[in-house]
Amino acid sequence: MPQVPLQIQAREQVALKVQSRQEQGKGPVGQMRRLQGRLPGVIYGHNQPAESFKTDAHSLELIL
């Protein structure tokens, strides 16, 4: 199997502004995406409740 050399870059820390969200379900979350330009997300933690959030789609694109 051929090997490909990889160069690992040092990662810089970036801040992403998020807001807690109450929108649940396909309809309200879809409207949030289309009308507000926001993306939904969920943070899962070990033995902790999941936290739903929303963030600006453009800001996330710039980070990725």
Q: Express each pLDDT in 17-29 by its tens digit.
A: 899 999 888 999 9
Length of the chain: 64
Give the domain ranges of the chain: 18-63
- Whole-model pTM: value is 0.69
pLDDT for 44 equals 92
pLDDT for 23 equals 85
Residue numbers in the chain where pLDDT is lower than 70: 1-8, 10
pLDDT for 2 equals 56
Q: Say what the alpha-carbon torsion angle 48, 31, 37, 40 is, to the nearest 10 degrees.
A: 10
Angstrom distances, CA of residue 9 to CA of 32, 48, 54, 63, 64: 35, 32, 29, 15, 15
pLDDT for 13 equals 77
Tokens of 52: 């739903």
